[in-house]
Chain A
Amino acid sequence: DGGITQSPKYLFRKEGQNVTLSCEQNLNHDAMYWYRQDPGQGLRLIYYSQIVNDFQKGDIAEGYSVSREKKESFPLTVTSAQKNPTAFYLCASSTNSWTGDQPQHFGDGTRLSIL
């Protein structure tokens, strides 16, 4: 079955540590996205990539980094510079469409907590 796989499901970070969240898709989608969700909040865009080897900052990119070396993979690193990383992180992908007819597909998320 095609889909988006996020791992791990739960992750704990120590002070001063960088952690990497994995996102893999086998939908052959060009575009991939990382969102952060806090309780009672909508999703906020961290980074997105419309094509391999290219990515753009979203609204809350500070303290995060990404890479897009392969079409199917878009890992997110939460650096020690991110002072409030506790949140639910969601990865999504979609086909680039200039007609606006393609929905985004989401993974099941990674919940990151501070030790």
Chain B
Amino acid sequence: KQEVTQIPAALSVPEGENLVLNCSFTDSAIYNLQWFRQDPGKGLTSLLLIQSSQREQTSGRLNASLDKSSGRSTLYIAASQPGDSATYLCAAEKGGSTLGRLYFGRGTQLTVWP
């Protein structure tokens, strides 16, 4: 069974810092690795999806990388802002007969203070 781990569990930084959130997974046979943002009491918002054949994806100040061989993905947030405060979750998708099934980490709770 796929196990997904996120480190750190919580992170508190001043505005303007560059951040790295880590995600590791035990089974490298994945279709993709997805990063989501969750605000308190809300659903998840998709941030970035990296297909298994890709190494990284970028959207604005966010950059996500994927190293399947080592079972790791990182989410890089440049020039952090208070509005980035949220919980960030990563999820690995397996294919085959379980197409679409996502295995989630517990998330990193990020606080960016002014």
Measuring CB to CB, which residues of chain A are less than 8 angstroms from any residue of chain B? 4, 6, 31, 33, 35, 40-45, 48, 50, 58, 88, 90, 92, 94, 96-109, 111
Contacts and interface: CB of A to CB of B under 8 A. Distances in A.
B4 A109 contact: no
Interface of B: 4, 30-32, 34, 36, 41-46, 49, 51-52, 89, 91, 93, 95, 99-102, 104-107
B92 to A, nearest CB: 10
28 contacts: A35-B104, A40-B106, A42-B89, A42-B104, A42-B105, A43-B44, A43-B102, A45-B102, A48-B101, A90-B43, A92-B44, A98-B95, A98-B99, A100-B31, A100-B32, A100-B51, A101-B32, A101-B49, A103-B46, A104-B34, A104-B46, A105-B46, A106-B36, A106-B43, A106-B44, A106-B45, A109-B41, A109-B43
